[in-house]
Chain A
Amino acid sequence: MPTVSVKRDLLFQALGRTYTDEEFDELCFEFGLELDEITSEKEIISKEQGNVKAAGASDVVLYKIDVPANRYDLLCLEGLVRGLQVFKERIKAPVYKRVMPDGKIQKLIITEETAKIRPFAVAAVLRNIKFTKDRYDSFIELQEKLHQNICRKRALVAIGTHDLDTLSGPFTYTAKRPSDIKFKPLNKTKEYTACELMNIYKTDNHLKHYLHIIENKPLYPVIYDSNGVVLSMPPIINGDHSRITVNTRNIFIECTGTDFTKAKIVLDIIVTMFSEYCENQFTVEAAEVVFPNGKSSTFPELAYRKEMVRADLINKKVGIRETPENLAKLLTRMYLKSEVIGDGNQIEIEIPPTRADIIHACDIVEDAAIAYGYNNIQMTLPKTYTIANQFPLNKLTELLRYDMAAAGFTEVLTFALCSQEDIADKLGLDISATKAVHISNPKTAEFQVARTTLLPGLLKTIAANRKMPLPLKLFEISDIVIKDSNTDVGAKNYRHLCAVYYNKNPGFEIIHGLLDRIMQLLDVPPGEDKGGYVIKASEGPAFFPGRCAEIFARGQSVGKLGVLHPDVITKFELTMPCSSLEINIGPFL
């Protein structure tokens, strides 16, 4: 969930009133936001770097507000204020207009070389904008927030904003060999080739995260003006030449990316948020984008879409009984201008370009419910009549757990993920023999594989509890995972029961007695006859030679029991003899 940090006093000034922290928290809650933290720059720095560093920092109060991940229109102060003011019916939602320039339209020409690396681009112009320091900071911060969220860390979309007065169109969006791109990037004093830049930015804490997006591509995307000035090398860095400042009056905005829909949304959000500060408020100057196939379109789209939803549908989905007029009023408060039309039950809703999150009637229903107030909705119980059933395997597990504890064994809960070493090397097995599923992106060795046996978890539990009085009698009933090409995903869970006895003597007879007890509980008689169980001498690398038996029940092998091999005991950092039992309980359903 993105967090937006705004200056409290600036926010209250824009809202036209002040709130106590509690009042504002309440307002946020109602609107679906969360006032996460009340802090200041000074407090943040002192928390992260100590009081000394924080000495000179500002102590202006900051509100950190959590915004739902799909509400890109609330990612800056301007949007938050507009949303809340409309919600509180203090202003009407502004109408955003795309206008054609008096002179020539700015053109962005896309060449076909971009196709393989970053094929889409859109653009727009904000004319006669008036920044202040706070507005400028908010403009930069919004781009950063969009980059981190909808732009997926610039992989899907990257934004470049430029001082149009320093450039001369038409602009060309192309892709070139890195060695052929040379320009002075933002915050540098001289020119570098793209190759050099990629090297320099490897140590840049901010930019190094974006390098991978183009790093190994033969061609890098780049935007030039008609004089060959580099505007930007998306998605990495803008040129220094066209950098914007607090004094910039005319801004050229380009968004390049791999997802056309999202590029258009991002452009719409930036221009709707900041056209507020243009001489002609909420108007945006169109720019023309020429595609490699020669066709062209003008942007931003700023599309308003009409949706029709029946009032009784909203009432039925939410569980309220409001008149269509009231529902239209509620929706209008959510920035969705609505009116009742037709037979008096139809509501026509206008979806503005800021609300890309509205993609279905259910999104409209939710907004009506939010405006109504979730906590004002009457709670009722559904009349759904059902008979409950347990999942048979879980039912058996629950029953067995209680009787295992009654037999004097203590239940443990160990991780389903572990290292290859745990299930293979330490048990004297080769990893290929385990048929384990392997994780491709583990951050540490603890998450290399899903366990194929419960035994390592139990032995690790004993190792962590060597100070406890002996004997230790532990068990676990849980799932293990084995590769299996007969299932849709190629792997299958098995419900295992594992028990260990750890003492100065191996206690095989105790583990064997436990098996007898389990079979008694499962109503499986001793003997090899149909339906019975028997154990037969066997061997396994985890067991001491001659002290291992395989368990057969209901005509199939269900597991093994025995005295653990001293090597296994040592590898799990244990010192005493230990016997164990592990069976698959699936066959006993």
Chain B
Amino acid sequence: MEQGWRWELSPVHLLRLRHHTQDDDTLSPALRLDTFKMAMHTPDSAMADGPVAELLLRRLEASDGGLDSAELAAELGMEHQAVVGAVKSLQALGEIIEAELRSTKRWELTAEGEEIAREGSHEARVFRSIPPEGLAQSELMRLPSGKVGFSKAMSNKWIRVDKSAADGPRVFRVVDSMEDEVQRRLQLVQGGQAEKLGEKERSELRKRKLLAEVTLKTYWVSKGSAFSTSISKQETELSPEMISSGSWRDRPFKPYNFLAHGVLPDSGHLHPLLKVRSQFRQIFLEMGFTEMPTYNFIESSFWNFDALFQPQQHPARDQHDTFFLRDPAEALQLPMDYVQRVKRTHSQGGYGSQGYKYTWKLDEARKNLLRTHTTSASARALYRLAQKKPFTPVKYFSIDRVFRNETLDATHLAEFHQIEGVVADHGLTLGHLMGVLREFFTKLGITQLRFKPAYNPYTEPSMEVFSYHQGLKKWVEVGNSGVFRPEMLLPMGLPENVSVIAWGLSLERPTMIKYGINNIRDLVGHKVNLQMVYDSPLCRLDAEPRPPPTQEAA
């Protein structure tokens, strides 16, 4: 292929592209940065060989028995956190030091408390601001300490208000001097003498949010069994140079933090529902079933209903249940001699049947729709099979979309996937159907089955398949099944002694159970969260205790 054809992308342009890509790595949302950080297996802050650690070791050597991390920080004039970092990194090196965590409680001034210790309480500040001739109350209130200080000074009876003054209420001193007890107490605490205050006095100051009790975690550090003041600088990672020079043999390496997360590989992902679909395909293939073409969402009413001996007044053929087409509204071609046999069977009976005895209309059969089940495709496949002489036994399956014009809720959408299995052979029995179902469901990890008589328009006998759900502690329906009616098979031209057994279930329900999804919209459609797709595990249907559907199949 011709190279350099993409004229619009100059080298500069390409450079910019690259730049953007890098941007994406560094500026990508917090999630990835967090992942990146979490993924750092080596401690990234405290350097075990840093100056603090070195100082600590030296002080420890000189100390008598041990030292307190907080005291050391105070002596060295550095943040306590820095000393703690050094302790932790030394601890990680083995038996060099021993550190015992101690927690002590201490009273500390709040920011406001510190201000008061420095400048006096609000009430004292108010008192001091009042000259002998008094001060207008409105003016006093504008002072920074005005509001709080005024009421406190009033209740201390240091000041009074004269409301009869000519230009509004005026505030006067009542006493000549006062003791600022609050400031004194706070200064005591500041000086580390909090114990000199009574419990009551402390709690009063705490209520005023001037004092707070804090817990301080410190380490009592003592010499370890392998104590030494000289620790060698640790390597973070193995490098090509170390390998070639062999220097790795003599170097100590920083330990990894195996609790950190790894960096997820960049990759694409398969959709969870379609992963389950793949497994169902696999199961059918393992059981020797051939895949039917289901390559037509649009179907005629004939193949969707009439061919299945579903009468034209059946409620499923209602506008409320089925999507009909406006364009193309009608099927252009139908196999007319087969259509005649279907018509006769519906309206008059035949093949041993009484029929439904109603006026069957071709127009109704021509109406196009979005197939409501893949059984329409099974009908086409069986019709094709019937045209091949002599008859050969078959096992068929399909998994594809079907459409229903029904009310939508947390478990029903207008479209979903139907799984269908079909076996056609001479002399198949209900016992065979149950046997095949047992094998099929065993492959799904569902072993406890029971069968309930049911009614389907195109199967007789019909049976619903129930499985015992350990979680819900009850039997739940996991599928529907039956033997296709002779009124469906014989007009197709299948031999009389051939039976066709079939079963179906939805793909969504077992998938929702498997992945713990309650709302179908979280699984199918454009509104799904891609993170769910990214995070979904492999689909191993038989690896779990049991993933049966919880409600009746859609």
Query: What residues of chain A have their CB less than 8 Å away from a CB belonging to chain B?
Result: 1, 29, 31-32, 34, 68-71, 152, 155-156, 259-262, 316-320, 359-363, 365-366, 369-370, 374-375, 377-391, 393-394, 398, 401-402, 404-417, 437-443, 446-447, 450, 457-458, 460-461, 463-465, 467-475, 479, 481, 483, 485, 487-493, 495, 503-505, 508-509, 526-527, 534, 546-547
Contact = CB atoms under 8 A, between A and B. Distances in A.
Contacts of B526: 412, 414-415, 457-458, 460-461, 463-464
A413 B300 contact: no
B373 to A, nearest CB: 15
Interface in B378-426: 393-395, 401, 403, 405, 413-415, 423, 425
Contacts of A446: 414
A348 to B, nearest CB: 16
B290 A389 contact: yes
B268 A318 contact: no
A369 B430 contact: yes
A471 B268 CA distance: 12
Contact of B393 (A71, A366, A384): A384
Which 9 pairs, one residue from A and one from B, show the smallest C-beta to C-beta distance?
Answer: A319-B431, A319-B429, A32-B453, A490-B328, A68-B455, A366-B461, A460-B526, A440-B326, A405-B268
A391 B281 CA distance: 11
B103 interface: no
A382 B425 contact: yes
A257 to B, nearest CB: 11
A509 B367 CA distance: 47
Interface in B245-291: 266-271, 273-274, 278, 281, 284-285, 287-291
A382 B287 CA distance: 12
B460 A363 contact: yes
22 contacts: A32-B452, A316-B427, A317-B483, A320-B431, A359-B349, A359-B354, A360-B354, A365-B461, A374-B452, A379-B434, A381-B435, A384-B428, A387-B288, A390-B281, A394-B291, A405-B270, A413-B274, A460-B526, A474-B530, A489-B298, A505-B21, A534-B1
Interface string B306-329: 000000010100010001111111
Nearest to B380: A488
B230 interface: no
A362 B483 contact: yes
Nearest to B8: A546
Contacts of B349: 359
Contact of A472 (B267, B289, B529, B530): B530
Contacts of B483: 317, 362
A398 to B, nearest CB: 6
A340 to B, nearest CB: 20
Which among B287, B395, B534 has the highest number of chain A CB atoms within 10 Å?
A: B395
B293 interface: yes
A573 B227 CA distance: 65
B285 A489 contact: no
B394 A377 contact: no
Interface residues of B, number: 113
A152 B313 contact: yes
A413 B270 CA distance: 10
Given A414-B525, A468-B531, A470-B28, A443 B405 contact: yes
A504 B27 CA distance: 12
B415 A415 contact: yes
Contact of A401 (B29, B274, B327, B333): B274
A361 B486 CA distance: 9
A142 to B, nearest CB: 19
Contacts of B530: 410, 412, 461, 465, 468, 472, 474
Contacts of B351: 360
Contact of A402 (B270, B357, B431, B450): B270
Contacts of A319: 429-432
B26 interface: no
B525 A401 contact: no
A474 B268 CA distance: 8
A475 B271 CA distance: 10
Given A473-B268, A488-B331, A505 B315 contact: no
A491 B333 CA distance: 12
Contacts of A492: 296
B455 A71 contact: yes
A504 to B, nearest CB: 6
Contact of B368 (A31, A490, A504): A490
B451 interface: yes
A389 B432 contact: no
A404 to B, nearest CB: 6
A547 B6 CA distance: 10
Given A415-B415, A437-B325, A442-B323, A152 B403 contact: no
Contact of B332 (A385, A458, A489): A489
Which among B271, B352, B461 has the highest number of chain A CB atoms within 10 Å?
A: B461
B69 interface: no
B425 A384 contact: yes
Nearest to B474: A25
Given A71-B455, A393-B295, A413-B271, 15 more contacts: A318-B461, A361-B486, A370-B453, A375-B451, A386-B394, A389-B290, A405-B267, A411-B268, A411-B533, A439-B323, A461-B528, A488-B333, A489-B299, A509-B9, A527-B1
A385 B423 CA distance: 11
B370 interface: yes
B499 A317 contact: yes
B274 A362 contact: no
A509 B1 CA distance: 15
Given A259-B358, A360-B485, A411-B271, A380 B432 contact: yes
